[in-house]
Amino acid sequence: MGGLRASLGRIAGLVAKELLALLKDPKGRFVLIGPPILQLLVFGYAATFDISDVRMAVVNRDGGAASRALVARFAGSPTFHTVAAPDSVRQARPLVAARRADMVLHIGPRFGRDLARGLGPQVQVLVDGRNSNTAAITAQYAGRIVAAFNADHTAGPAPPELRVRAWFNPNLRSQWFIVPGLVGVLTLVITTLVTSLSVAREREAGTFNQLLVTPLRPPELLLGKTLPAVLIGLAEATVIVAVAVVWFGVPLVGHPGLLYLGLLLFMLSTVGIGLMISSLCTTQQQALLGAFLYIVPSVILSGFATPIANMPPLMQHLTYLNPLRYCLITVRGVFLEDLPAAVLVHQFWPMALIGALTMAAAAVFFRRRLG
């Protein structure tokens, strides 16, 4: 019992030293607090899949009441506004090439007659495809307006009506998808950087050799380096969650306990990876480069911005090794879907396994360094 108490005392002392080293420096405090909040605000407002300002050139070669009604539907939409009305598609092409127009609405000369006869008139929509994501969303918005116009002007019995209802995000707001994902991404950045720089900072300051002559054993040293990063990560995650709920209005419909359990398991895996990087590097510059070498592919292969199902098969298999993949499913599931523990356990155990493996590997590297 006395040995356990002495071990806990040594670990607590190392944890306090690490926290003081991180927080006593004003610049260090700013790095831990300022950039995550700034990134949350920037990504929350700038990283959006919504489109609200599409510049449209209208080529109306019909000029009848029906074609004018269709153009009015586009003009009355909050998404589209008309910037030019050229006489032909050839005249509209330079507008798109010069980025003065994002889309061309082309209505043929027989539009009104074909509509009156029930022949199914066609409308051409030309979209600037240099940004494929924007082009796809713009074409989807235009298709909805044309479909609504067609439903109102089809002669004969009313056609079948398709009503779409979005679960979990009724208004399809991108912020409700992006901001919860930032909880995992920013937690990854903070915990990985803090742990990857910890041992390298000791080596540069010349205090790592002093640790070797202390009564601290390798497991105690490893735990003392782990707990500060986990505590800072939990504090950062709490702030980010609060900003997401209070500032951005993202609903937290699930149980916060499940959210924090998932974040804790995720942090164990990221801290283990950070300690592995730190034990392999001799300078803080090397540790910083190593951390970003891991963080960037981790974010790309997590499903944060692009669906994993759209990736090549090899990349999809690699995502199973990425703890951020499971964290994002957990965070978004708790925020928006109120996923129960029975479902989330399939995300918890992979993070726990990755955390155990990375912590074990970090312990091996530490033993070699201490030896």
pLDDT confidence tier of residue 136, bands split at 50, 70 and 90: confident
- For residue 107, the SS3 value is strand
* Per-residue pLDDT at 163: 62
Nearest to 284 by CA among 202, 367, 368, 192: 202
Residue 64's CB is within 10 A of a number of other CB atoms, namely 17
Q: Could you tell me whether strands 123-127 and 103-107 are parallel, antiparallel, or unpaired per DSSP bridges?
A: antiparallel
Q: What is the mean pLDDT of residues 203-216?
A: 65
**pLDDT by residue (tens digit) across 97-128?**
888 888 999 988 888 888 877 777 778 888 88
Cα gap 368→371, rounded to integer Å: 5
- Asked whether the whole model's pTM tops 0.95, one would answer no
Q: What is the mean pLDDT of residues 128-142?
A: 82
Domains in the chain: boundaries: 2-47+173-370, 54-153
Q: Please report, rounded to a whole number, the percentage of residues in the chain having pLDDT higher than 90.
A: 28
* Per-residue pLDDT at 62: 86
* Per-residue pLDDT at 164: 64
**pLDDT by residue (tens digit) across 257-288?**
999 999 999 999 999 898 888 878 878 888 88
Cα gap 102→130, rounded to integer Å: 10
CATH no. of 54-153: 3.40.1710.10
Contact 66, 110 (CB under 8 A): no
Residue with tokens 């990349």: 315
